[in-house]
């Protein structure tokens, strides 16, 4: 080795790099090892193939794999030729729970799955005759010699295959061409719903990878969100690349807000600046790119949303008065009957544009925010309930009816900020964003030109004392242990309870001690999930079931929870309302189980909070 021009880069080399990086503690060493890999072992034409495997979360070339844990488990079990009823297959299906051999990997699907593939590849367990055949064709732990180019082709096939049979066939191909260690890394590359994002957990940031690859890689990625383009344009790693501006049609990484604790800190940070304060909308960040008739809606993680482009295309064509532009804003839901923003549901989508990044043939991110607000006013003709602009003295603010709160304003002192913050909290909004009106818009910047201030927590008028009736196993660190609770309310006439799931709020120790106390009364809900004990009433049409039930209510413990006071009508659970962002405040060992809140009092509380 040592010559990076004549051999195709092997995946086994990358796996050694991954393993080494994961074991190594210091980030300097990790970085220099990666540097050496790129310098010595990776052919320039393989840069994209290699970097997309290290930063899978940034790769948009390949469609989604369409794999949920259950699908991947079934495909793997089939690819390995295991019986779906075998103990091993069941453990894979019930990967969240601790089984007899679950050990440290419980709760991490990829690692549990990898254990099986490990056994298969290494020949520890001849799980079935099919597997034995697979193993015969293989040579123990020797790498199948897969190149990273071939691996990417197989992963493309996995993503484009439309049914389980095809996916199973790709997986069995992969199993044949790899050894156990390689297969473990491949499974970690598959984005799964239980993991927030695909991450190999190498302990090295995307910034460092970009930096070692090329000094201009990060900047170029921020304005294009295109890993392939970055790897190809910067193939000559000694050649500097002129800073590129944003382009219509290429998503750009959004400007972000720095969190501050209170209005005073925020005001001090923006000392001497001209400041606008805006409502922090609780929707999804969206960039609208209009290029003639071509429209794209890009989310914060640069995914294209053609469904929005489709439903909003008439609005965009008629109300954006220039041919080409990029708008930055938030996508929300508008309740057409009530004429206000809605939580979610079948109402229509509305875009609130709070910034503009490109007009005609020019990027305008280098102009100051105050000027960009003026451009927004000129370029967008607001249309109530569909497309609004957020600018001080105008736009959305002009569309309020009397008594409605303002959506943004220029602040002249800290009291203005404080007052606006209070108003938004009373209006049950998420918080506020303060922006320096003299600042440029900078891709991916969180250095404090925008500051966000959110309430610590909105309390329901009084504590909600609810009873634990079930538990859910956690994943990751809390894999195999109950980490979330299903809680219920009393219904006095029938002594049934109505449930709702709550999770965060307790320290690890508090959680452990509740779980230890309740453990003797857990009744496991094996796959497929069984009906609840008859004390509990859950809606029949809901599939929502905890992993364990508490045998009977009198064995259980009361939790005091706080919750966002905006409640939502519950379709999942039997209670008439469900809570938003419920959080455990404390454990009430002192309260007997039958003193938990009852449904009637809960409904009254909701009504008094919602002013109905």
Rule CB under 6 A: which residues touch ligand ATP?
Answer: 254, 256-257, 278, 280-281, 285, 300, 330, 354, 390, 433, 452
Least Å from the CB of residue 257 to ligand ATP: 4
CA angle 515–519–524, rounded 5-degree value: 115
Matching residue, tokens 């690692």: 111
Nearer to ligand ATP, 94 or 439 (CB): 439
Integer Cα distance of 50 and 10 in angstroms: 10
The maximal CA–CA distance of the chain, rounded, in angstroms, is 80
Nearer to ligand ATP, 325 or 390 (CB): 390
Nearer to ligand ATP, 221 or 485 (CB): 221
Least Å from the CB of residue 33 to ligand ATP: 31
Least Å from the CB of residue 200 to ligand ATP: 22
Chain mean position to CA 501: 19
Least Å from the CB of residue 287 to ligand ATP: 10
Nearer to ligand ATP, 144 or 443 (CB): 443
Residue by residue, DSSP assigns 446-469 as -SSSEEEE--S-PPPSS-EEEEEE
411, burial (CB in 10 Å: exposed 0-12, middle 13-18, buried 19+)? buried
Q: Which residues are catalytic?
A: 280
Nearer to ligand ATP, 218 or 388 (CB): 388
CB 578 within 8 A of CB 566: no
CA distances from 560 to 76, 230, 333, 457, 473 (A): 43, 51, 32, 14, 21
Nearer to ligand ATP, 46 or 278 (CB): 278
Least Å from the CB of residue 327 to ligand ATP: 12
Nearer to ligand ATP, 66 or 431 (CB): 431
Task: For residue 27, give every residue at least 6 positions away whose Cβ sits within 8 Å of its Cβ, in sequence order, or none.
Answer: 203, 204, 205, 208
Least Å from the CB of residue 424 to ligand ATP: 11
Nearer to ligand ATP, 457 or 589 (CB): 457
Least Å from the CB of residue 254 to ligand ATP: 6
Nearer to ligand ATP, 330 or 351 (CB): 330
Integer Cα distance of 80 and 172 in angstroms: 7
Residue 184, helix vs strand vs coil: helix
Least Å from the CB of residue 266 to ligand ATP: 13
Q: How many CB atoms lie within 10 A of CB 528?
A: 8
Task: For residue 566, give every residue at least 6 positions away whose Cβ sits within 8 Å of its Cβ, in sequence order, or none.
Answer: 343, 428, 580, 610
Integer Cα distance of 501 and 499 in angstroms: 7
Nearer to ligand ATP, 160 or 262 (CB): 262
Residue whose C-alpha is closest to residue 548's, from 585, 522, 582, 586: 522
CB 134 within 8 A of CB 81: yes
Least Å from the CB of residue 299 to ligand ATP: 10
Integer Cα distance of 330 and 428 in angstroms: 17
Integer Cα distance of 383 and 57 in angstroms: 36
Least Å from the CB of residue 355 to ligand ATP: 8
Per DSSP, what are the bridge partners of residue 390?
none
Nearer to ligand ATP, 392 or 480 (CB): 392
Residue by residue, DSSP assigns 27-92 as HHHHHHHHHHIIIII--GGGHHHHHHHHSGGG--SS------HHHHHHHHHHHTT--TTSHHHHHH
Per DSSP, what are the bridge partners of residue 358?
326, 363
Integer Cα distance of 68 and 71 in angstroms: 5
Least Å from the CB of residue 255 to ligand ATP: 8
Residue 554, helix vs strand vs coil: helix
CA distances from 170 to 72, 122, 123, 160 (A): 12, 20, 21, 11
Task: For residue 35, give every residue at least 6 positions away whose Cβ sits within 8 Å of its Cβ, in sequence order, or none.
Answer: 212
CB 289 within 8 A of CB 248: yes
Task: For residue 427, give every residue at least 6 positions away whose Cβ sits within 8 Å of its Cβ, in sequence order, or none.
Answer: 279, 405
């Amino acid at each position: 080795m040592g010559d990076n021009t004549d051999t195709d880069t092997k995946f086994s080399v990358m796996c050694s790099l991954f393993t080494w990086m994961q074991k190594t503690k210091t980030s300097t060493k990790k970085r220099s090892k990666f540097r050496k890999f790129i310098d010595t072992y990776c052919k320039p034409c393989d840069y994209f193939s290699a970097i997309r495997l290290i930063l899978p979360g940034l790769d948009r070339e390949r469609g989604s794999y369409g794999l949920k844990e259950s699908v991947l488990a079934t495909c793997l079990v089939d690819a390995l030729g295991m019986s779906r009823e075998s103990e091993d297959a069941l453990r894979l299906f019930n990967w969240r729970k601790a089984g007899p051999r679950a050990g440290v990997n419980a709760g991490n699907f990829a690692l549990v799955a990898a254990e099986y593939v490990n056994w298969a590849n290494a020949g520890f367990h001849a799980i079935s005759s099919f597997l034995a055949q697979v193993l015969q064709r293989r040579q123990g732990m020797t790498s199948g010699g897969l190149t990273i180019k071939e691996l990417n082709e197989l992963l493309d096939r996995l993503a484009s295959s439309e049914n389980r049979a095809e996916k199973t066939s790709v997986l069995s191909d992969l199993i044949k061409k790899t050894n156990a260690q390689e297969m473990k890394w491949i499974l970690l590359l598959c984005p799964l719903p239980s993991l927030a994002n695909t991450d190999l957990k190498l302990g090295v940031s995307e910034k460092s990878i970009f930096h070692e690859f090329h000094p201009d890689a990060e900047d170029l990625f921020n304005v294009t969100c295109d890993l392939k383009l970055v790897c190809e344009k910067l193939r000559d790693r000694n050649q500097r690349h002129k800073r590129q501006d944003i382009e219509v049609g290429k998503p750009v990484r959004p400007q972000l807000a720095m969190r501050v604790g209170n209005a005073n800190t925020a005001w001090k940070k923006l000392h001497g600046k001209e400041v606008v304060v805006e409502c922090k909308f609780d929707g999804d960040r969206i960039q609208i790119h209009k290029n003639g008739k071509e429209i794209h809606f890009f989310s914060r993680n640069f995914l294209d949303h053609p469904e929005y482009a489709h439903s909003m295309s008439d609005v965009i064509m008629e109300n954006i008065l220039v041919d080409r532009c990029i708008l930055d804003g938030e996508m929300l839901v508008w309740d057409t009957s009530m004429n206000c923003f809605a939580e979610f549901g079948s109402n229509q989508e509305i875009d609130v544009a709070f910034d503009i990044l490109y007009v005609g043939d020019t990027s305008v991110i280098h102009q100051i925010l105050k000027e960009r607000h003026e451009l927004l006013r000129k370029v967008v003709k607001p249309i109530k309930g569909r497309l609004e602009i957020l600018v001080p003295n105008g736009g959305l603010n002009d569309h309020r009816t009397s008594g409605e709160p303002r959506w943004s304003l220029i602040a002249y002192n800290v009291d203005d900020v404080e007052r606006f913050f209070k108003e938004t909290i009373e209006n049950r909004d998420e918080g506020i964003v303060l922006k320096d009106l003299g600042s440029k818009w900078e891709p991916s910047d969180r250095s404090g030109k925008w500051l966000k201030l959110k309430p610590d927590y909105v309390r329901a008028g009084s504590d909600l004392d609810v009873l634990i009736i079930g538990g859910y196993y956690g994943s990751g660190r809390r894999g195999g242990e109950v980490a979330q609770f299903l809680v219920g309310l009393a219904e006095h006439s029938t002594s049934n309870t109505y449930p709702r799931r709550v999770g965060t709020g307790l320290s690890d120790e508090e959680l452990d001690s509740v779980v230890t106390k309740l453990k003797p009364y857990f009744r496991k809900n094996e796959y497929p999930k069984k009906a609840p004990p008859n004390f509990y009433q859950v809606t029949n049409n809901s599939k929502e079931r905890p992993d364990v039930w508490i045998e009977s209510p009198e064995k259980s413990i009361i939790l005091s929870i706080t919750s966002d006071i905006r409640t939502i009508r519950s379709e999942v659970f039997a209670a008439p309302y469900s809570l938003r962002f419920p959080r455990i405040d404390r454990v009430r060992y002192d309260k007997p189980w039958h003193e938990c809140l009852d449904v009637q009092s809960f409904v009254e509380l909701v009504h008094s909070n919602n002013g109905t």
